[in-house]
């Protein structure tokens, strides 16, 4: 018999707490054992509510991607998207990792997650279009922005910026440079 109050939503919520408490590696380190310990049940009890660890990872990723998509949908510029992405990653690094597709990108059962993720990319593409980037350069521009922002964020989360200079100023320099470079493509 399932533990009172334990259902699919409760298991996913417990998993999200494990991810949040794990910092930058929270999503990568997510295990059924960690969730079961939080729930006060044995690991096999979780199988009544989720499709094993792959299913739980998909469920967590879906929540995180939708959360991130909701945030991106509210933004109106590439600069705002860049800064909001960094803020999201810094405040919820494990969830940010889940958004990036480290475990679900090639999972054939993760169609819902991929669809939600496509909405995020669409919002980024909308911001690129707003800068006047020609159609033939839009995919390259979206990829360049994603790579640059993600690279900065991952380095920062890993403690890769040890010099005393202001990291916020460096990130603004990066985003401003991306925006100016893309604007130049439109001329």
DSSP 25: G
| Cα dihedral 122, 111, 98, 68 sign | positive
For 127-159, what is each residue's pLDDT tens digit?
999 999 999 999 999 999 999 999 999 999 999
Average pLDDT, the chain: 94
Question: Could you tell me the two tokens for 116?
Answer: 């939600």
Is this prediction's pTM over 0.75?
yes
Torsion, Cα 70 74 80 85, to 10 degrees, reads: 0
State phi, psi for 50 to the nearest 5 degrees: -140, 160
What residues contact residue 89 under an 8 Å CB cut-off, 6+ apart?
96, 153, 157
Q: How many CB atoms lie within 10 A of CB 109?
A: 11
- What is the reported pLDDT for 9? 97
Interior/surface letters 155-173, b for 16+ CB within 10 angstroms, e for the rest: ebbeeeeeeeeebeeebee
For 15-55, what is each residue's pLDDT tens digit?
999 999 999 999 999 999 999 999 999 999 999 999 999 99
Provide the residue ranges of all domains of the chain, joining segments of one domain with +.
8-185
What residues contact residue 127 under an 8 Å CB cut-off, 6+ apart?
75, 76, 77, 78, 81
Given the candidates 1.10.357.10, 3.40.50.1860, 3.40.50.2000, 1.10.40.30, the CATH classification of the domain at 8-185 is 1.10.357.10
Give the CA count within 13 Å in the CB-facing half-sphere of 8: 10
Question: Could you tell me the two tokens for 167?
Answer: 């990291």
How far is Cα 180 from Cα 182, in angstroms, rounded to an integer? Answer: 5
Is residue 87 a contact partner of residue 19, using CB atoms and an 8 Å limit?
A: no
Q: From the CA atom positions of the chain, what is the Rg in Å?
A: 19
Torsion, Cα 39 57 65 140, to 10 degrees, reads: 160
């Amino acid at each position: 018999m399932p533990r009172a109050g334990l259902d699919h939503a409760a298991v996913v919520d417990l998993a999200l707490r494990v991810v949040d408490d794990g910092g930058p590696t929270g999503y990568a380190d997510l295990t059924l054992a960690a969730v079961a310990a939080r729930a006060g049940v044995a690991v096999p009890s979780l199988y009544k509510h989720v499709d094993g660890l792959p299913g739980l990872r998909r469920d967590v990723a879906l929540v995180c991607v939708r959360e991130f998509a909701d945030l991106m949908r509210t933004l109106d510029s590439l600069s705002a998207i860049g800064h909001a992405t960094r803020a999201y990653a810094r405040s919820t690094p494990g969830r940010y990792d889940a958004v990036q597709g480290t475990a679900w990108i090639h999972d054939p059962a993760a169609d819902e997650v991929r669809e939600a993720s496509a909405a995020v990319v669409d919002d980024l593409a909308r911001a690129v279009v707003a800068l006047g980037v020609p159609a033939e350069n839009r995919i390259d521009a979206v990829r360049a922005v994603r790579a640059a922002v993600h690279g900065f964020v991952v380095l920062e989360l890993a403690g890769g910026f040890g010099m005393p200079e202001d990291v916020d100023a460096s990130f603004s320099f990066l985003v401003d440079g991306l925006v100016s470079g893309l604007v130049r493509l439109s001329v």
